[in-house]
């Protein structure tokens, strides 16, 4: 119902804009304020979009719960074991392609309206988990960076018109900085200058082996 409602509303807005461009009838002029009608319809669309997006966010909760409990202090043996288990990133990418709701919404007329909000939400939740829930050693940081890159690739394919890498720039920089092999490499990484001093200190503290 949500998808049908939005698509109908989008079509109505397009129709009203068409009327505005072609309104040359003197008897019609003044009876309906097409500018006001168009503005009200767009306001309604954006309000309903925000409600719909909040509902969609809940579909990613399981992925972020999985991320919050992921161990990134790993040995070589742990890496081998992890390759046989479904990761939080695989769960998230799978959620993006769930045919019963998510994919249908993304392939509808809503795509351009909601894509940046969905991408921003995913990036924000990942960053929150990194700073508040996770610890890393070098092997774990390498694994994490690979997971982030897989997610950005999946999002870029799903939303080719969205600026995925731009929205994910902070998360990608965090993953790269965490990947440093030494403390000096951590501090001197070119991405380190993107973070204020207090955040950089916190990132250093996330690595247990520096």
- Going by C-alpha positions, the residue among 196, 157, 195, 160 that lies closest to residue 176 is 195
Q: Let me know: does 86 contact 150? Beta carbons within 8 Å.
A: no
Is there a contact between 71 and 79 (Cβ–Cβ < 8 Å)?
no
pLDDT at position 119 is 93
- Say yes or no to pLDDT of 3 above 60: no
Condensed to tens digits (0 to 9), the pLDDT of residues 153-209 reads 999 998 888 899 999 999 999 999 999 999 898 888 888 889 999 999 999 999 999
Token digits of residue 204: 């250093």
d(CA 42, CA 38): 6
How buried is 182 (Cβ within 10 angstroms: 0-12 exposed, 13-18 middle, 19+ buried)?
exposed
pLDDT of residue 142: 96
User: Tokens at residue 8, please?
Assistant: 């109908």
Average the pLDDT over 67-85 and give the result: 90
Q: Which of 10-24, 114-128, 133-147, 169-183 has the lowest mean pLDDT?
A: 10-24
Instruction: Please state, in angstroms and rounded to a whole number, the distance separating the CA atoms of residues 187 and 198.
Output: 13
Domain boundaries defined on the chain: 59-206
Highest-confidence segment of 82-86, 124-128, 184-188, 191-195: 124-128
User: Which one is the CATH code of 59-206: 1.20.58.1970, 2.60.120.1310, 1.10.150.240, 3.40.50.300?
Assistant: 1.20.58.1970
pLDDT tens digits, 16-63? 666 656 655 555 555 456 667 667 777 777 777 777 778 788 889 999
Place of tokens 């092999």: 181
Q: How far, in Å, are 129, 141, 182 from residue 137 at the CA level? A: 16, 6, 11
Whole-number pLDDT of residue 11: 64
Q: What pLDDT does 20 receive?
A: 59
Q: Is the pTM of this model over 0.85?
A: no
Q: How many CB atoms lie within 10 A of CB 142?
A: 18
Determine the pLDDT at residue 110: 63
Contact between 140 and 79 (Cβ < 8 Å): no
Do 114 and 105 form a contact (C-beta atoms < 8 A)?
yes
DSSP 3-state of 13: helix
Length of the chain, please?
210
Cβ count near 207 (within 10 Å): 21
Please tell me the number of Cα atoms within 13 Å of 46 on its side-chain side. 5
| 22 backbone dihedrals φ, ψ, rounded to 5° | -110, 15
User: Do 171 and 120 form a contact (C-beta atoms < 8 A)?
Assistant: no
SS3 category, 207? strand
pLDDT classification of 150: cutoffs 50, 70, 90: very high
């Amino acid at each position: 119902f949500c998808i049908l409602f939005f698509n109908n509303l989008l079509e109505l807005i397009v129709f009203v804009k068409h009327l505005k461009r072609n309104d040359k009838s003197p008897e019609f002029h003044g009876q309906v304020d097409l500018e006001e009608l168009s503005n009200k319809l767009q306001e309604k669309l954006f309000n309903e979009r925000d409600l719909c997006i909040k509902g969609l966010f809940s579909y990613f909760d399981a992925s972020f719960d999985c991320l919050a409990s992921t161990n990134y202090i790993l040995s070589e043996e742990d890496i081998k074991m992890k390759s046989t288990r479904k990761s939080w990133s695989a769960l998230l990418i799978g959620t993006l392609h769930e045919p019963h709701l998510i994919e249908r919404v993304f392939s509808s007329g809503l795509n351009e309206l909601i894509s940046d909000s969905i991408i921003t939400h995913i990036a924000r939740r990942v960053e929150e988990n990194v700073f508040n829930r996770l610890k890393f050693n070098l092997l774990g940081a390498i694994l994490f960076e690979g997971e982030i890159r897989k997610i950005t690739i999946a999002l870029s394919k799903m939303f080719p018109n969205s600026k995925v890498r731009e929205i994910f720039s902070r998360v990608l920089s965090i993953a790269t900085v965490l990947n440093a092999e030494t403390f000096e490499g951590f501090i001197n990484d070119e991405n380190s200058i993107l973070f204020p001093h207090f955040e950089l200190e916190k990132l250093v503290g996330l690595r247990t082996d520096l």
